[in-house]
């Protein structure tokens, strides 16, 4: 019985696992993504989520450049989860550049946002 339950949970997790972190989207806040996205993968997500209407990697647009975001958080171990929360909830984060809409107005999943946040946190 116990074994069966464990099997079921593992199978259920595998079934809804995302390409990015292997966990069902939205179930965990402080997801540590095992493999950080490549720049190309990050840009694809940013394009699909239309983040690029307001952001670039290396320069400011309507919002801060993502590299300066990574630099600002430095080696804070909570950087990725803080950034992910900011993207999900929108708002202002001390850049004095205006207000970011929730999820940037996109329909990116939590797992996709976590993956992007993890990538941004590695930029220097």
Binding residues (CB under 6 A) for ligand HEC: these are 49-51, 53-55, 62-64, 69, 82-83, 86-87, 92-98, 100-101, 103-106, 108, 116, 120
- Least CB distance to ligand HEC at residue 20 (A): 13
- Least CB distance to ligand HEC at residue 22 (A): 21
Residue 4 or 99: the one with the smaller Cβ distance to ligand HEC is 99
Residue 3 or 40: the one with the smaller Cβ distance to ligand HEC is 40
- Asked whether 104 and 50 are in contact (CB, 8 A), the reply is yes
């Amino acid at each position: 019985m116990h074994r069966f339950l464990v099997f079921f949970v593992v199978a259920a997790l595998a079934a809804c696992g995302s390409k990015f972190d292997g966990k069902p989207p939205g179930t965990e806040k402080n997801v540590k993504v095992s493999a950080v996205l490549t720049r190309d993968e990050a840009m694809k997500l940013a394009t699909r989520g239309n983040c690029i209407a307001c952001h670039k990697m290396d320069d400011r647009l309507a919002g801060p450049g993502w590299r300066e975001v990574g630099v600002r958080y430095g080696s804070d171990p909570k950087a990725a989860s803080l950034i992910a929360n900011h993207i999900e909830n929108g708002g202002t984060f001390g850049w004095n550049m205006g207000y970011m809409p929730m999820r940037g107005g996109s329909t990116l999943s939590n797992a996709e946002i976590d993956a992007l946040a993890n990538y941004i946190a590695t930029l220097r």
